[in-house]
């Protein structure tokens, strides 16, 4: 019998009434014939309360104790949902990370899953019992200590469990009903995507379409876990909530997308990342080791560098442009001022209020001229492009923040994404 993982976040389990709605979603899938494992987050607000206490107790807390405290939130929800399911006549039991076990490394507070032993859980699934698994947590087996996966880690738990039990699909119930061609709050004509390739989703997630944690998408891609993003607030018993017709976005392999449409769309979505700052270094010697000289001091200052553009040099000198989170802008400039002698640049320039707009689509691989079209369209609207980077399935363009909406709407129309 096919297996299904269903994941519910904090707002979906915030009250017993909402937990009942979750249980109805689960019941529907059990009655459709699935063996179901449910992964739950802590009740909304609980994790913040627990984290607050730890911080009040000690600013410099032991991350192992932080994990022991914070993991309790998911423990509570797993027990409550198991009881609620039983009350509806469904055999169910809760599973803590250490009971399965979900084995992780010892990077407490942001542990990585090493292995999930699916044996015990699948035996109970086969016996007809719903497994209610506490998300976000695991165990470091050598020490026997509780670990947590970091914020949003329940998505990662769900995908990892799906891989471990060989689930047909991992359904992520969220407060949005899927992944859109761009942010619908900015572009009302944005459409929900029926399917998105793992690679595309990775680009979108890291670029700001915060539907799924990046790590969970990476994991889904590696283990080929078909992941369906859907809304938890719709009536659980509505007929359209059955799998085939349900509103949502399936994140899947490129092949599955190709099998369902004659040709991939050239462009799948337009993402944008605010709160970026641009730093440019003019006339640095174009010689081996120069990149290390520039980015070493930034790494030492724990500043994340995103876009990096370096042009072919003209006369033995080149310009380097890159972006950093705008919160780190001043620190980044200070670090480079300090390293001026070691780097040997002529001028240091920066712009604190820029935005990165990205055009994403696996179809780009087989289509020439996608980028050129974008540059022309932006030029026609008088939008100045500060920097460009491209990958196989993405074009990222850095522009002044004031033009964000105009650029996103222009590109959204340009590639035929308007509904």
Q: Report the interface residues with a copy of itself, using CB under 8 A.
A: 16, 19-20, 50, 53-54, 56-58, 60-62, 64-69, 71-73, 75-76, 78-80, 82-84, 86-87, 93-94, 96, 98-99, 144-146
Work out how close the CB of 66 gets to a copy of itself at its nearest, in angstroms, rounded to a whole number. 7
Work out how close the CB of 213 gets to a copy of itself at its nearest, in angstroms, rounded to a whole number. 24
Work out how close the CB of 88 gets to a copy of itself at its nearest, in angstroms, rounded to a whole number. 9
Given the complex with a copy of itself, which of 16 and 292 has the nearer CB atom?
Answer: 16
Given the complex with a copy of itself, which of 146 and 250 has the nearer CB atom?
Answer: 146
How far is 272 from 149, CA to CA, in rounded Å?
27
Q: Is the peptide bond before 415 cis (omega within 30 degrees of 0)?
A: no
Work out how close the CB of 69 gets to a copy of itself at its nearest, in angstroms, rounded to a whole number. 4
The length of the chain, given as a count of residues: 419
In three state form, how does the secondary structure of the chain look?
CCEEEEEECHHHHCCHHHHHHHHHHHHHHHHCCCEEEEEECCCCCHHHHHHHHHHHHCCCCCHHHHHHHHCHHHHHHHHHHHHHHHHCCCCEEEECCCCCCEEECCCCCCCCEEEECCHHHHHHHHCCCEEEEECCEEEECCCCEEEECCCCHHHHHHHHHHHHHCCCEEEEEECCCCCECCCCCCCCCCCECCEEEHHHHHHHHHCCCCCCCHHHHHHHHHHCCCEEEEECCCCCCCHHHCCCCCCCEEEECHHHHHHHCCCCCCCCEEEEEEEEEEEEEEEEECCCCHHHHHHHHHHHCCCCCCCEEECCCCCCEEEEEEEEEHHHHHHHHHHHHHCHHHHCCCEEEEEEEEEEEEEECHHHHHCCCHHHHHHHHHHHCCCCCCEEEEECCEEEEEEEHHHHHHHHHHHHHHCCCCC
Cβ density class 70-87: b for 16+ within 10 Å, e for less: bbbbbbbbbbbbbbbbee
Centre a 10 Å sphere on the Cβ of residue 154 and count the other Cβ atoms it contains.
28
Residue 251 tokens, joined: 């994140």
Work out how close the CB of 300 gets to a copy of itself at its nearest, in angstroms, rounded to a whole number. 28
Is residue 7 within 8 A of residue 135, CB to CB? The reply is yes
Given the complex with a copy of itself, which of 86 and 280 has the nearer CB atom?
Answer: 86
Given the complex with a copy of itself, which of 129 and 328 has the nearer CB atom?
Answer: 129
Work out how close the CB of 141 gets to a copy of itself at its nearest, in angstroms, rounded to a whole number. 12
CA 38 from chain centre, in angstroms, equals 20
Work out how close the CB of 286 gets to a copy of itself at its nearest, in angstroms, rounded to a whole number. 51
Work out how close the CB of 218 gets to a copy of itself at its nearest, in angstroms, rounded to a whole number. 30
Work out how close the CB of 171 gets to a copy of itself at its nearest, in angstroms, rounded to a whole number. 22
How far is 351 from 146, CA to CA, in rounded Å?
44
Work out how close the CB of 149 gets to a copy of itself at its nearest, in angstroms, rounded to a whole number. 17
Given the complex with a copy of itself, which of 83 and 339 has the nearer CB atom?
Answer: 83
Work out how close the CB of 99 gets to a copy of itself at its nearest, in angstroms, rounded to a whole number. 6
């Amino acid at each position: 019998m096919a297996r299904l993982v269903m994941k519910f976040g904090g707002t979906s389990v915030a009250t017993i009434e909402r937990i009942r709605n979750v249980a109805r979603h689960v019941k529907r899938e059990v009655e459709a014939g699935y063996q179901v494992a449910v992964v739950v987050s802590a009740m909304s607000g609980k994790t913040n309360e627990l984290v607050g206490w730890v911080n009040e107790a000690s600013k410099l807390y032991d991350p192992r104790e932080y994990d022991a405290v914070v993991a309790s939130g998911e423990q509570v929800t797993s027990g409550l949902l198991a009881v609620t399911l039983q009350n509806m006549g469904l055999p169910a039991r809760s599973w803590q990370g250490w009971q399965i076990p979900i084995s992780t490394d010892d990077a407490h507070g942001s542990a990585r899953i090493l292995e999930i032993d699916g044996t015990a859980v699948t035996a109970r699934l086969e016996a007809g019992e719903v497994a209610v698994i506490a998300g976000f947590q695991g165990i470091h087996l050598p020490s026997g200590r509780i670990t947590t996966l970091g914020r949003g880690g329940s998505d990662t738990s769900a995908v990892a469990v799906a891989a471990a039990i060989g689930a047909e699909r991992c359904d992520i119930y969220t407060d949005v009903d899927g992944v859109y061609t761009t942010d619908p709050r900015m572009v009302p004509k944005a459409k929900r995507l029926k399917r998105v390739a793992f690679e595309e989703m990775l680009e979108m997630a890291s670029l700001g379409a915060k539907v799924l944690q990046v790590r969970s998408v990476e994991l889904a891609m590696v283990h080929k876990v078909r992941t369906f993003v859907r809304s938890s607030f719709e009536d659980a018993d509505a007929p359209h909530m059955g799998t085939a017709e349900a509103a949502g976005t399936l994140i899947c392999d490129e092949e599955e997308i190709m099998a369902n449409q004659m040709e991939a769309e050239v462009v799948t979505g337009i993402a944008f990342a605010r709160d970026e700052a641009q730093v440019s270094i003019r006339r640095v010697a174009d010689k081996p080791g120069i990149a290390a000289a520039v980015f070493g001091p930034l790494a030492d200052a724990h500043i994340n560098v995103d876009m990096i553009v370096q042009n072919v040099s003209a006369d033995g000198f080149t310009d380097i442009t890159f972006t950093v989170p705008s919160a780190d802008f001043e620190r980044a400039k200070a670090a480079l001022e300090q390293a001026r002698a070691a780097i040997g640049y002529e001028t240091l320039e920066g712009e604190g209020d820029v935005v990165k707009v990205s055009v994403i689509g696996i179809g780009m691989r087989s289509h020439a001229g996608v980028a050129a079209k974008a540059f022309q369209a932006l030029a026609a609207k008088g939008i100045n492009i500060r920097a460009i980077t491209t990958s196989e399935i993405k074009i990222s363009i850095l522009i002044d923040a004031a033009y964000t909406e105009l650029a996103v709407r222009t590109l959204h129309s340009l590639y035929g994404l308007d509904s």
